[in-house]
């Protein structure tokens, strides 16, 4: 376990995201994983994704060489799996996730390369904007369902220049009179000292 | 007849003007701040209200508070016991948010007490200790699958509960005067982010200020700070749109949003961690 290169895929706990489960369990993606020397694929498929996951796994048994397993939801959070994917000593993996902000923040804190795949089925799609903005600043790779192998390559690039999280806010407050949340609360409270 | 009509119209016009003028005073972010003598003056109790929502909103709120109270830069570190009393508002049935608030209090309160004493910056006499806190519950503004037709009714119920929570702590001193040492007063500051409960809390506080209940307006109480979700890069959330013009401070976490929305919106960097 300790010496395997892991790709951890998570669709989150609230909505289902069948398209992402299908995309990561396609022969094309698995081949790409093998090319990048991955040996483990771990999928968090959500409350009602079990059936879909098992059918899809059967469909790609011919590819082989990669251990595939999955689970529905873990109430203790995903940190454990993200740290497993982060790996060490030349076995560093990747996380592929839906664009939920909680999941993204956790992966950024854990400092594991992250591919964000927004769910285009969701109505209010501010998640795409978040994924775009973060990939522009090179915090994450903005992945598209139809081209995940490319995202996997980009993630290797991202690994070499993993950015610090949270970003230091020095410089920002120079343009503003307040310093961070504390500054604003102090001003509103009337604390002058 | 025409005279009476004119008379009524005039009264209506004066009334509307008065209401309008009242609101311009209420919504002026530069309006009176409470007069204070020092940060931890034992004669001036302070009260912070934090509104939590379910899921993502609670996570973001606790994430930025945790980051603030642990900030390595002393000038940016939030000292939790600067607030002698904290009220955490959670929606009914959301035991997870309540538990996370408790967890935060256990972490943050001792942090600033010990640290402050060690730094020698806070005299023992003016140190209030860890202060007190309370987790209160209000009914949900809207259940997840509730129809829109019944939403006004449940919103009113929620508003009533918010009013009770906002006025829960009042002083025994004359109306319009501050509390005495050890007493609790109405919230000085209400910190909210996205959830519907937070929006209703802010509007309820606005109504209380409109009628200057317990002198909240003249005494500069119930100032409001809204933090837009980190997930909002280019467009405001519904709560953000509703609250933009009524809160005292409106913080966003992406510079794009300042350009997009303009006005008094402030970007002070990423606040979550």
- pLDDT, residue B149, reads 79
Confidence of residue A131 (pLDDT cuts 50, 70, 90): very high
Judge: B229–A101 Cβ closer than 8 Å, yes or no.
Answer: yes
**Tens of pLDDT, residues B73-106:** 888 889 898 898 999 999 998 899 999 999 999 9
Q: Which two tokens stand for residue B270?
A: 């990423």
Question: Can you tell me whether residue B82 is helix, strand or coil?
Answer: helix
Question: Can you tell me whether residue A10 is helix, strand or coil?
Answer: strand
Judge: A179–B230 Cβ closer than 8 Å, yes or no.
Answer: no
Residue B29 lies in a domain: no
Residues ≥6 apart with Cβ < 8 Å to B145: none
Confidence of residue B174 (pLDDT cuts 50, 70, 90): low
**Tens of pLDDT, residues B149-166:** 788 888 899 999 999 999
Contacts of A184 in chain B (CB under 8 A): 225, 249, 251, 266, 268
Give the CATH number for residue B87.
Answer: 3.40.50
Question: Can you tell me whether residue B9 is helix, strand or coil?
Answer: helix
Helix axes B196-210, B151-166, angle to 10 degrees: 60
Q: What percentage of chain A reaches a pLDDT higher than 70?
A: 92
Instruction: Count interface pairs A-B at CB distance under 8 A.
Output: 115
C-alpha span between B119 and B52 (Å, rounded): 32
Confidence of residue B247 (pLDDT cuts 50, 70, 90): very high
Residue B38 lies in a domain: no
Judge: B254–A133 Cβ closer than 8 Å, yes or no.
Answer: yes
Confidence of residue B175 (pLDDT cuts 50, 70, 90): low
Beta bridge pairs of residue B250: B226, B265
Residue B179 has pLDDT above 80, yes or no: no
Helix axes A148-160, A27-35, angle to 10 degrees: 30
Residue B2 lies in a domain: no
Residue B28 lies in a domain: no
Q: Across the interface, which of B48, B75, B225 has its CB nearest the CB of A179?
A: B75
Task: With a threshold of 0.90, tell me whether the complex ipTM lies above it.
Answer: no
Q: Across the interface, which of B64, B234, B266 has its CB nearest the CB of A129?
A: B234
Judge: A190–B33 Cβ closer than 8 Å, yes or no.
Answer: yes
Question: Can you tell me whether residue A27 is helix, strand or coil?
Answer: helix
Judge: B223–A191 Cβ closer than 8 Å, yes or no.
Answer: no
Tell how strand B85-91 and strand B47-51 pair up.
parallel
Judge: B82–A191 Cβ closer than 8 Å, yes or no.
Answer: yes
- pLDDT, residue B118, reads 60
Q: Across the interface, which of B46, B220, B270 has its CB nearest the CB of A169?
A: B270
Residue B107 lies in a domain: yes
Confidence of residue B126 (pLDDT cuts 50, 70, 90): low
* Interface-testing mutation among B64, B74, B76, with chain A (most A C-beta atoms within 10 A): B76
Judge: A176–B266 Cβ closer than 8 Å, yes or no.
Answer: yes
Region of poorest pLDDT, from A37-46, A78-87, B31-40, B78-87: B31-40
Confidence of residue A2 (pLDDT cuts 50, 70, 90): low
- pLDDT, residue A88, reads 84
Overall domain count for chain B = 1
**Average pLDDT score over chain B:** 87
Q: What is the dihedral of CA B172, B33, B251, A111, to 10 degrees?
A: -70
| Chain A closest-CA separation from residue B186 CA (Å) | 13
Q: What percent of chain B is helix, strand and coil (3-state, nearest 5)? A: 45, 15, 40
* Strands ordered across the beta sheet of B265-267: B132-138, B85-91, B47-51, B189-192, B223-227, B249-252, B265-267
Residues B265/B250, Cβ–Cβ less than 8 Å: yes
Place of tokens 């995309």: A23
Answer yes or no: CATH 3.40.50.300 is held by domain A6-162.
no
Residue B7 lies in a domain: no
Show me where the domains of chain A are located: 6-162, 167-193
Full domain range(s) for residue B103: 46-141+151-267
Contacts of A179 in chain B (CB under 8 A): 75-76, 268
Q: Across the interface, which of A100, A105, A133 has its CB nearest the CB of B63?
A: A105
Judge: B233–A178 Cβ closer than 8 Å, yes or no.
Answer: no
């Amino acid at each position: 376990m300790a010496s395997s290169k892991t790709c951890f895929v998570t669709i989150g706990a609230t909505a289902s995201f069948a398209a992402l489960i299908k995309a990561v369990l396609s022969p094309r993606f698995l081949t790409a994983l093998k090319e990048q020397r991955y040996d483990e694929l771990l999928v968090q498929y959500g409350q009602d994704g079990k059936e879909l996951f098992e059918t899809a796994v059967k469909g790609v048994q011919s590819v082989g060489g990669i251990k595939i397993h999955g689970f529905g939801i873990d109430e203790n959070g995903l940190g454990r799996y993200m740290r497993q994917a982060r790996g060490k000593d030349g076995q560093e993996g990747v996380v592929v996730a839906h664009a939920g902000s909680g999941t993204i923040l956790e992966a950024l804190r854990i400092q594991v390369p992250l591919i964000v795949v927004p769910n285009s089925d969701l109505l209010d799609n501010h998640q795409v904007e978040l994924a775009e903005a973060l990939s522009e600043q090179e915090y994450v790779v903005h992945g598209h369902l139809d081209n995940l192998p490319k995202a996997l390559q980009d993630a290797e690039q991202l690994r070499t220049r993993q950015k610090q999280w949270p970003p230091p806010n020095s410089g920002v407050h120079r343009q503003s009179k307040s310093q961070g949340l504390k500054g604003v609360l102090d001003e509103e409270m009337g604390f002058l000292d | 007849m025409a005279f009476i009509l004119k008379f009524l119209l005039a009264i209506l016009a004066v009334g509307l003007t008065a209401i309008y003028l009242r609101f311009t005073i209420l919504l002026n972010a530069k309006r009176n701040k409470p007069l204070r003598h020092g940060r931890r003056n034992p004669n001036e109790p302070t009260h912070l209200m934090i509104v939590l929502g379910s899921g993502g909103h609670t996570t973001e709120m606790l994430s930025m508070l945790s980051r603030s109270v642990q900030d390595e830069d002393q000038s940016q570190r939030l000292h939790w016991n600067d607030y002698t009393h904290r009220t955490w508002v959670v929606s009914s049935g959301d035991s997870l948010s309540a538990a996370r608030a408790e967890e935060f209090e256990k972490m943050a309160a001792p942090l600033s007490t010990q640290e402050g004493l060690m730094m020698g910056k806070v005299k023992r006499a003016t140190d209030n200790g860890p202060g007190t806190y309370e987790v209160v519950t209000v009914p949900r503004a809207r259940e997840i699958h509730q129809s829109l037709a019944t939403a006004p009714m449940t919103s009113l119920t929620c508003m009533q509960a918010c009013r009770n929570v906002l006025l829960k702590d009042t002083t025994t001193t004359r109306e319009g005067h501050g509390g005495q040492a050890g007493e609790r007063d109405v919230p000085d500051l209400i910190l909210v982010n996205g959830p519907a409960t937070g929006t209703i809390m802010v509007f309820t506080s606005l109504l209380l200020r409109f009628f200057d209940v317990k002198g909240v307006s003249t005494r500069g109480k119930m100032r409001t700070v809204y933090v837009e979700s980190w997930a909002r890069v280019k467009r405001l959330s519904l709560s953000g749109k509703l609250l933009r013009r009524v809160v005292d401070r409106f913080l966003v976490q992406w510079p794009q949003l300042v350009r997009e929305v303009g006005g008094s919106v402030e970007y002070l960097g990423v606040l979550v961690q």
